[in-house]
């Protein structure tokens, strides 16, 4: 672990950190009094919302400010034109209020391996436990990068494959252990060339991901949307199914695969973005209905927040 003084700079872009970093896309961001702390490609950063953008504290600087800025712009999905999306879908009865309520929600571009591992862990799991699982893996197998107790690099597929199924069961992954090991082995031996999937057709990339045990359509679509820049992707879980039935009149007997196909046809090149705005609204409304209290603060209703 290299010790060095941190550097601070500003990214002037419209991005809502809370609704982007803590909304079911990524699982290694931790909220603190100064924003959100996490690791991007071995860079430990603390991101804080300010009036004209995002203040970045780069805690273990080994890259130039220009390089880390480009990396953050990509990670936060800042190259995507939210204005065009808003013009096209701002009057949609479900997405319109979500756009206004969660302005600046972005689709992240994470490391594909950590993203795949995370969503394999998401199977019949909740966000808090997924974060615990992913953090335990990083702490146990990853390299320490800075002074914080969660400042670890995520271990590569070779390290995870070598760790074996029993290790992952012992740290709480349960039945998912065999799936993450299968994924690690297939990526390590080249059976699935994960980092080249971004360069091939969406459907072919989806099919290749689904050769990994435990990876179905929903997990594959999450990885394609949140790490491989496949904007045609439309992940379907219980939140999306509920919302599509409620807002778009789709039968509640429609299969997830057919809903995914419907979403791709309806939203086209904006499918993954539309999906996340629908998902985020439905998830927060569901929380408010179940638990009330502070969860009601984030519910959108028509034109209001």
> pLDDT tens digit string along 21-59?
999 999 999 999 989 999 999 999 999 999 889 999 999
Q: Are residues 46 and 125 in the same domain?
A: no
Report the distance separating Cα 121 and Cα 143, nearest Å: 21
Share of the chain above pLDDT 70, in %: 93
Backbone angles phi, psi at 296, to 5 degrees: -70, -15
256, two tokens:
């997830």
Q: Supply the pLDDT for residue 34.
A: 87
Q: Supply the pLDDT for residue 286.
A: 81
Query: Which residue, among 31, 29, 58, 60, has the nearest Cα to 45 in the 3D structure?
Result: 58
38, two tokens:
């996490």
The more confident residue out of 3 and 140 is 140
Q: Are residues 281 and 216 in the same domain?
A: no
Mean pLDDT of 123-138: 93
Answer whether 122's CB lies under 8 Å from 179's CB.
no
Q: Supply the pLDDT for residue 299.
A: 58
> Total domain count for the chain?
3
Query: Quick check: is 1 in a domain?
Result: no
Q: Are residues 248 and 203 in the same domain?
A: no
Answer whether 86's CB lies under 8 Å from 289's CB.
no
* CATH code: domain of residue 60: 3.30.310.40
Q: Are residues 251 and 118 in the same domain?
A: no
Q: Supply the pLDDT for residue 125.
A: 87
Q: How confident is the model at residue 295 (pLDDT cuts 50, 70, 90)?
A: very low
* CATH code: domain of residue 238: 1.10.1670.10
The rounded radius of gyration (Å) of the Cα atoms in the chain is: 19
Q: The whole model's pTM is what?
A: 0.92
Share of the chain above pLDDT 90, in %: 85
Least confident of 73-82, 212-221, 290-299: 290-299
Q: Are residues 217 and 190 in the same domain?
A: yes
* CATH code: domain of residue 144: 1.10.340.30
> What pLDDT digit, counting tens, does each position of 76-122 carry?
999 999 999 999 999 999 999 999 999 899 999 999 999 999 999 99
Q: Supply the pLDDT for residue 270.
A: 96
Handedness of CA 74, 80, 82, 86 (dihedral sign): negative
Q: How confident is the model at residue 294 (pLDDT cuts 50, 70, 90)?
A: very low
Q: Which structural domain range is residue 220 located in? A: 112-226
Q: Are residues 49 and 103 in the same domain?
A: no
Q: Supply the pLDDT for residue 305.
A: 33
Q: How confident is the model at residue 292 (pLDDT cuts 50, 70, 90)?
A: low
Whether 304 has a pLDDT exceeding 70, the answer reads: no
DSSP for 225-273, please give it.
HHTS--TT-----HHHHHHHHHHH---TT--HHHHHHHHHHHHGGGHHH
Neighbouring residues of 181: CB distance < 8 A, sequence distance ≥ 6:
160, 161, 163, 164, 165, 168
> What pLDDT digit, counting tens, does each position of 61-85 carry?
999 999 999 999 999 999 999 999 9
> What pLDDT digit, counting tens, does each position of 134-168 carry?
999 999 999 999 999 999 999 999 999 999 999 99
Answer whether 235's CB lies under 8 Å from 222's CB.
yes
Report the distance separating Cα 180 and Cα 121, nearest Å: 8
What b/e string do you get for 149-168 counting C-beta neighbours within 10 Å, with b at 16 or more?
A: ebbbbbbbbebbbebeeebb
> What pLDDT digit, counting tens, does each position of 248-259 carry?
999 999 999 999
Q: How confident is the model at residue 188 (pLDDT cuts 50, 70, 90)?
A: very high
CB count in 10 Å sphere of residue 106? 24
Query: Which residue, among 221, 157, 162, has the nearest Cα to 194 in the 3D structure?
Result: 157
């Amino acid at each position: 672990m290299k010790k060095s003084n941190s550097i601070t700079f500003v990214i002037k872009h419209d991005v809502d950190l809370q609704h982007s970093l803590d909304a079911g896309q990524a699982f290694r961001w931790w909220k603190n009094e100064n924003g959100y702390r996490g690791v991007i490609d071995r860079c430990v950063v603390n991101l804080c919302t300010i009036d004209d953008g995002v203040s970045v504290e780069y805690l273990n600087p080994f890259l130039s400010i220009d390089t880390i800025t480009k990396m953050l712009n990509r990670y936060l999905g800042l190259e995507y034109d939210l204005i065009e999306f808003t013009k096209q879908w701002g009057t949609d009865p479900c997405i319109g209020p979500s756009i206004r309520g969660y302005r600046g929600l972005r689709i992240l571009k994470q490391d594909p391996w950590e993203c795949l591992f995370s969503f394999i862990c998401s199977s019949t799991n909740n966000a808090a436990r997924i974060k615990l699982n992913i953090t335990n893996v990083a702490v146990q197998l990853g390299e320490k990068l800075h002074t914080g107790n969660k400042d670890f690099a995520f271990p590569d597929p070779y390290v995870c494959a070598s760790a074996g199924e029993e290790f992952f069961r012992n740290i709480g992954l349960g039945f998912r252990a065999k799936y993450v090991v299968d994924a690690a082995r297939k990526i390590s031996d080249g059976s699935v060339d994960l980092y080249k999937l971004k360069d091939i057709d969406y459907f072919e990339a989806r099919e290749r991901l689904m050769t990994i045990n435990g990876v179905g359509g929903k997990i594959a679509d999450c990885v394609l949307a949140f790490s491989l820049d496949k904007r045609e992707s439309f992940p379907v879980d219980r939140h999306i199914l509920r919302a599509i039935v409620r807002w778009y009149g789709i039968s509640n007997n429609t299969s997830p695969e057919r809903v995914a196909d419907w979403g791709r046809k309806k939203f086209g090149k904006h499918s993954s973005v539309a999906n996340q705005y629908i998902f985020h609204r439905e998830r927060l409304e569901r929380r408010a209905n179940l638990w009330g209290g502070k969860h009601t603060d984030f519910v959108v209703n028509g034109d209001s927040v």
